[in-house]
A and B are shown apart, each in its own frame.
Chain A
Amino acid sequence: MPNRVVVGLTAIAVLIAAAPAPAHHAFASEFDIQKPLVLRGSVTVMEWVNPHSWIHIDVKGDTDTVNWMVEGGSPNALLRLGFTKNALLPGMDIVVTGYQAKDGTNKAVGRDLTFADGRKLFLSESAAGTQK
């Protein structure tokens, strides 16, 4: 695994309070809470698939470029937030903070995703609001 291209498998100050709750997947067995990371890359593909969207990004290192797959939210929920298929296109630069897959390959869960200029990738919580 070309660690050097990852912009630091940085220890992010995220406090983990409790054992993982049951979710669609057993998160704790899919992703490694001991392997937090920050990825800066350029989108190559956005897969609009359930149960989770997957964003593919090219992460440039000193000598080579590595393609990473990043797990995002359920497309159905993203659509309801106002996200469209044109909102994240190939070539856009994003920053992902998340955790690497336990199998050690170039896959990660995207905990927080922002554009290169710091804007949240998806609508912010204040913009989402409630319908009623």
Chain B
Amino acid sequence: MIGRSLAWIGLMALVGAPPAWTPPRTPEGHPDLQGIWTNATITPLERPKELGAKEFYTQNEMAEYRKRALVPLPTAERGGTEAHYEFTQFGLYRSQAQIAFSLRTSMIVGPEGRVPALTSEAQQRIAERAAGAKGHEFDGPESRGIQERCLVWGVEGPPMLPPGYNSYLQIVQTPAYVAILQEMIHDVRIIPLDGRPHAPQTVRRWLGDSRGRWDGDTLVVDTTNFTDKTNFRGSRENLHVVERFTRVDADTIRYEFTVDDPGTWTRPWSAELPLVKDKGPIYEYACHEANYGMANNLKGARAKEKADEGAAKRQHEDPK
């Protein structure tokens, strides 16, 4: 044993540095990305403004941040959905799942750490769309968001961002394809690796049209052909995404992406987050199975309209 260690030290002296971690490989020789991973996080997409250009926490700062981020707020201090809904009781609070920790202060990399400014064209487009939808939010199922309609979860992407809960994905590889299932909310991305070109511009898909290739030990996925119904930070059908998946140790994939849409942002921007191995299993999320929420929302809106009409009528008959 000692002899073997000495031989190892000798070898190390010869090559000068410890050998880099080598990923497990598929029979074709590519890194094996398969398994169940989580991207649950406490790291925001955009860096809090007060941190300026500080891209990383120190270990001590991160320990403190983790401590604060993982303690559920007292009920009285919770707002929004959490006030309606006891998150911790339903397993929805982030402290109740494995977290993919990172020292980054934001997922967005670089000194700014924030989504770049919208172009004036995009600002106008977004304002017009909002004005058109105003007052019609509950007209019918089609006026509700695609997430509420169980079509696509808002952060399914690509780029794939943490969904808030049930933050799991599964990767399966064959020589010709990589498939990625995201638990939220049921879709599988099927990514060909054979070098074929993107689908024609006329073919538009909810999750875009993805093509993959190996750049050394990194899987690179290029995605275009989105629809005008998806909305990633203001970008719709012209979004272009390049993702990079690199296994960096036994438990972690480094997931990087760059997004680009000259009609929406003043420059391309990039982000990075870890995917951490999870013991699983991953579950089906059959969102359409019993989406009572959609009907309840529309019925609520009809009930309110009726009540408002009644109130207006009474006001008309007996104005006081």
Contacts and interface: CB of A to CB of B under 8 A. Distances in A.
Given A24-B293, A128-B96, A51 B150 contact: yes
Contacts of B89: 73, 112-113, 120-122, 124-125
Interface of A: 14-33, 47, 49-52, 54, 69, 71-81, 83, 98-99, 101-105, 107, 109, 111-113, 120-125, 128-132
A49 B286 contact: yes
B77 interface: yes
B78 to A, nearest CB: 7
B84 A99 contact: yes
Contacts of B84: 20, 27-28, 31, 33, 98-99, 109, 111
22 contacts: A15-B75, A16-B79, A18-B83, A21-B81, A21-B82, A27-B81, A29-B300, A30-B293, A31-B84, A50-B286, A69-B292, A80-B91, A101-B300, A102-B296, A102-B299, A103-B300, A107-B292, A120-B89, A124-B89, A125-B88, A130-B96, A131-B97
Contacts of A77: 90-92, 96, 165-166
Contact of B79 (A19, A47, A104, A122): A19
A24 B96 CA distance: 19
Contacts of B294: 25
- Among B88, B98, B292, max chain A CB count under 10 A is at B292
B289 A29 contact: no
Contacts of B301: 29, 102
Interface residues of B, number: 55
Nearest to A101: B296
Interface of B: 70, 72, 75-86, 88-93, 95-99, 138, 144, 147-148, 150, 154, 165-166, 183, 185, 279, 283-287, 289-294, 296-297, 299-304
Ranked nearest first, the 5 interchain pairs of A and B with the lowest CB-CB distance are A73-B90, A18-B79, A102-B300, A49-B290, A21-B80
B75 A14 contact: yes
Contacts of B286: 49-50
Contacts of A16: 79, 83
B98 A107 contact: no
Nearest to A23: B81
B297 A29 contact: yes
A23 B155 CA distance: 12
B95 A130 contact: yes
Given A123-B91, A131-B98, 4 more contacts: A24-B293, A33-B83, A51-B287, A102-B303
Contacts of B81: 20-21, 23, 27
B96 A79 contact: no
B296 A81 contact: no
B77 A17 contact: yes
A111 B85 contact: yes
A14 B284 CA distance: 34
Contacts of A131: 97-98, 279
Nearest to A111: B86
A20 B90 CA distance: 18
B166 A47 contact: no
A44 B279 CA distance: 34
Nearest to B166: A76
A101 to B, nearest CB: 5
Contacts of B144: 26
A55 to B, nearest CB: 12
B227 to A, nearest CB: 20
A50 B285 contact: yes
Contacts of A83: 91
A111 B165 CA distance: 17
B283 A76 contact: yes
